[in-house]
Amino acid sequence: MVINVLGGGIEGLLYSGKGFFVGTGLLLIPYLLGGLGAGDVKLMAAIGALMGANFVFYSFIYTALIGGAIAIALIVKERGFWYPLKNLLFNLTFLRGNLGSMIITSDKKTSSISFPYGVAIVLGTFCTLIWGGF
């Protein structure tokens, strides 16, 4: 924020403030639900304060796409490709009301898969720097 205030005065402060609040707001709900850490929220807020509201919004979109791709890759790596596909096809074929009783159980222990979302945030920010908005 200091850089933008020194370079643009009150306009720089408003520019940084909007970016900060947009960056914080985009990841605040996932943080409150326990899906992200506070560092991820602070990183997105810092990007917004430095680069502005439009930039951080586009960065968030790229980040979500990259994070989704990383999550799918980790699920396929952890649980294999055929088990989730078989589970989906079974549920779509025999869906007659109670989805919970029709889920195929696996022999594998179900565990949560986590990864540092900061990697996706950084890659999304670089994509925004390279390609800009849509």
pLDDT at 33: 93
Q: Name the more confident of 102 and 16.
A: 16
48-106 per-position pLDDT tens digit: 999 999 999 999 999 999 999 998 888 888 877 777 777 777 777 776 445 555 444 55
Mean pLDDT of 28-40: 93
Residues 119, 132: Cα–Cα separation, whole Å = 19
pLDDT > 90: what percent of the chain? 57
What is the per-residue pLDDT for 102? 45
What is the pTM assigned to this prediction?
A: 0.76
What percent of the chain stands above pLDDT 70?
Answer: 87
Instruction: Report the C-alpha gap between 42 and 94 in whole angstroms.
Output: 45
pLDDT score of 106: 52
> Crossing angle of helices 38-51/117-131, nearest 10°?
20
Are residues 118 and 39 in contact, defined by beta-carbon separation less than 8 angstroms?
yes
Q: How confident is residue 1, by pLDDT bands cut at 50, 70 and 90?
A: confident
Distance of CA 66 to the CA centre of its chain: 8
